[in-house]
């Protein structure tokens, strides 16, 4: 579809560059990385060199200075080749975008610029906790002021790049003493916590059903001292910073789903043309044709919703939550339907690792969970409609 979509010259350049990189560098070893649960360190460095770790970050901060539509095009292509690599790219862009908008000049020089230049390892966005996922305001990690530093205590859960991050963009609640503390956004503050900080333990890497070459880990903080100059934005204003990334993040997950769907449909069509049953190719069977037609229709609708949400962001629409949530909700649910149909076309072969559809099926499932579950997206959509 996108080949026929009206794109600006810069958007097409970024899309084509990402597609070439995905085809030549990301795709060839994707299955092997998945089997080995191997993190793509080399690819992160190359993504930085291509400007794909800070697609929307302004040029003066070391980014590509592109728009949200360009980001959707780029991440969909990376996801088409390897969803795990796309997740790492998405989190990197989220961190870079927040630092670009809220960090001080000194903070940008210390973390953002070298990160985007590929001189640092990956970064993490540490918001979720064992008892607070979609309900970010319920976080319990505490930050207590001690002279010219803050002392952080608590745990983070499901942190992408958690084991390997050179620094963590981490959210904690500023309090006067030990918790637990009531839910709510009051006091939530954004900190940069660097790798190697005393009392910071990255924990054991999660062994996941899908996205196996994307690193996910807990973070445990015990009396971790963080200099006051590491506060990003204002003290107590961190919840707004976290929420500012949600619309972008949800569009990014929708784009990941687009890439997975494109790859799954291509695999299904290829197999249907090659495989014969009852004396003729599967592609000649009406049931197969219906599955392919429904899947392409699902995919086209997902593209339109996602590109509309990206366009809303690009033109600075005042309210984009509904469009972003609709894009994520529909695209991720459609992704589940598409990969399921394409695996069904493969029959028993779709259930073994020899065929890419098996990995795509596993990778697709989490898109309905992270960056806000499908249920949360429905709540956001309804709330926006009822408020209007």
Percent helix, percent strand, percent coil in the chain, to nearest 5: 55, 15, 30
**Length reported for the chain:** 388
CA–CA separation, 201 and 103 (whole Å): 25
Q: Dig out the tokens for 350 from the structure.
A: 């779709």
CA 170 to chain centroid, in Å, comes to: 16
CB 197 within 8 A of CB 69: no
* Token pair 């009396």: residue: 223
What are residue 191's DSSP bridge partners?
Answer: 170, 231
CA–CA separation, 137 and 244 (whole Å): 14
CA–CA separation, 29 and 61 (whole Å): 32
Q: Dig out the tokens for 372 from the structure.
A: 């806000």
DSSP string, 104-130: -HHHIIIIIHHHHTTSS--EEEE--BT
CA–CA separation, 129 and 242 (whole Å): 14
Q: At what angle do helices 246-274 and 321-346 cross, to 10 degrees?
A: 20
Nearest C-alpha neighbor of 109 from the set 236, 248, 229: 229
Cα four-point dihedral sign 183, 186, 190, 194: negative
Contacts of 64 (CB under 8 A, 6+ apart): 14, 51, 52, 54, 55, 56, 57, 70
10 Å CB burial of residue 328 (0-12, 13-18, 19+) is: buried
Catalytic residue (one of 353, 371, 375, 384)? 371
User: Known catalytic residue: 353?
Assistant: no
CA–CA separation, 117 and 50 (whole Å): 9
Q: What are phi and psi of 316, to 5 degrees?
A: 75, 35
Positions marked active-site: 371
């Amino acid at each position: 579809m996108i080949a026929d979509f009206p794109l600006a010259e810069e958007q097409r350049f970024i899309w084509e560059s990402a597609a070439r990189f995905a085809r030549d560098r990301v795709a060839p070893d994707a299955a092997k990385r998945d089997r080995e649960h191997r993190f793509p360190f080399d690819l992160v460095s190359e993504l930085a060199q291509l400007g794909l770790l800070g697609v929307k970050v302004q040029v003066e901060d070391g980014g590509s200075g592109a728009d949200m539509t360009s980001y959707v095009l780029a991440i969909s292509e990376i996801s088409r080749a390897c969803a795990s690599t796309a997740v790492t790219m998405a989190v990197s862009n989220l961190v870079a975008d927040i630092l670009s908008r809220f960090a001080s000049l000194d903070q940008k020089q210390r973390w953002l610029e070298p990160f985007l230049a590929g001189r640092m390892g990956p970064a993490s966005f540490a918001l979720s906790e064992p008892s607070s996922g979609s309900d970010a305001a319920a976080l319990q990690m505490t930050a207590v002021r001690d002279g010219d530093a803050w002392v952080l205590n608590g745990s983070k859960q499901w942190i992408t790049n958690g084991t390997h991050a050179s620094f963590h963009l981490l959210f904690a609640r500023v309090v006067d003493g030990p918790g637990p503390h009531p839910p709510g956004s009051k006091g939530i503050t954004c900190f940069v916590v660097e790798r190697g900080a005393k009392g910071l333990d990255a924990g054991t890497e999660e062994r996941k059903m899908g996205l196996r070459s994307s690193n996910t880990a807990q973070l445990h903080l015990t009396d971790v001292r963080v200099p006051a100059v590491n506060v990003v934005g204002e003290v107590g204003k961190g919840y707004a910073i976290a929420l500012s990334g949600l619309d972008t993040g949800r569009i990014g997950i929708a784009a990941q789903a687009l890439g997975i769907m494109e790859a799954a449909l291509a695999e299904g069509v290829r197999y249907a043309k090659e495989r014969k049953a009852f004396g003729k190719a599967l592609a000649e069977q009406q049931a197969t044709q219906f599955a392919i037609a429904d899947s392409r229709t699902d995919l086209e609708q997902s593209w339109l919703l996602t590109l509309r949400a990206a366009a809303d962001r690009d033109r600075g629409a005042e309210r984009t939550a509904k469009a972003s949530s609709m894009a994520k909700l529909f695209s991720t649910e459609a992704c589940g339907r598409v990969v399921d149909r394409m695996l069904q076309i493969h029959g028993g072969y779709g259930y073994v690792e020899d065929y890419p559809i098996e990995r795509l099926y596993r990778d697709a499932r989490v898109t309905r969970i992270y960056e806000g579950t499908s249920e949360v997206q429905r709540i956001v959509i309804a709330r926006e409609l009822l408020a209007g």
